[in-house]
Amino acid sequence: MKDLKEKVVVITGASSGIGAAAAAQFVALGCKVVLMSRTLEKLEAVAAPLKEKGSVQCVAADVCDEASVAKAFGAIGPVDILVNNAGVGFATDLSSCTLEDYRAIMETNVTGVFLCSRAVLPGMKSRTAGHIVNVSSVVGKVANPGAPLYCASKHGLNGYSSGLQQQVAKDGIGVSMVSPSAVDTAYWDGRDIDRSKFLQPEEVASAIVFVVSQPAGVLIKDIDLTAMR
């Protein structure tokens, strides 16, 4: 497996859930981890215990905002691994949901990935090395009627990821998707649903670390996860 020590890892949506769990695992491997989300206070709460174990930096940025993304990545410098984890989702009735609902989901789940990936690609190309991991979902392959806009955003993310994967392979850059089924995160807050059999954020984080740890010349394009409980 690849040694990730000293690699610079940027994780979006790192203030909770999968992002926070991934941060802990990358820090344990000796990576230089940059936590990114809109709220600095939440990031600092995640970072506090991790700073005792390794290098952790917090950067506040809105992944949907082009200027915010450019400023954040300009301050971070070269990035070895980008984990596009920031995501928004909620139940939607397509006959009554608003344009604001549509934009909230699409701009975070698709536009945000585009902007953050575009920010790191020139540096990765110049070094002919790097890895981008996009956190998708099983509903990006088979939709459900409860959250169709969320499903559509993940279908769009999958198409973007596949196209990017093919474009940058010649540059030595890996692009992977990690596609979990339901995960016990804040996505489900406020819903009357039993989460006891859901995947845990740490389990998805382990899959993210696994795909970027493969030996040189090996790319896991997509990995589906579901709980066996």
Task: Taking the CA atoms of 91, 94, 96 and 98 in sequence, report the sign of the dihedral they define.
Answer: positive
The DSSP code for 110 is I
Distance CA 18, CA 87 (A): 10
**How many other C-beta atoms are found inside a 10 Å radius of the C-beta of residue 121?**
19
CB burial class (10 A; 0-12, 13-18, 19+) of residue 186? exposed
Q: In which order are the strands placed within the sheet that holds 222-225?
A: 56-60, 32-37, 8-12, 81-84, 130-135, 173-180, 222-225
Owner of token pair 């196209």? 163
Burial class (CB in 10 A: 0-12, 13-18, 19+), 141: middle
Q: Position 151: which residue type?
A: C
Amino acid symbol at 65? D
- What does the block give as tokens for 204? 């998805």
- C-alpha span between 55 and 134 (Å, rounded): 23
Residue 150 bears catalytic tag = yes
- Which residue is catalytic, options 102, 150, 160, 187? 150
Residues belonging to the active site: 150
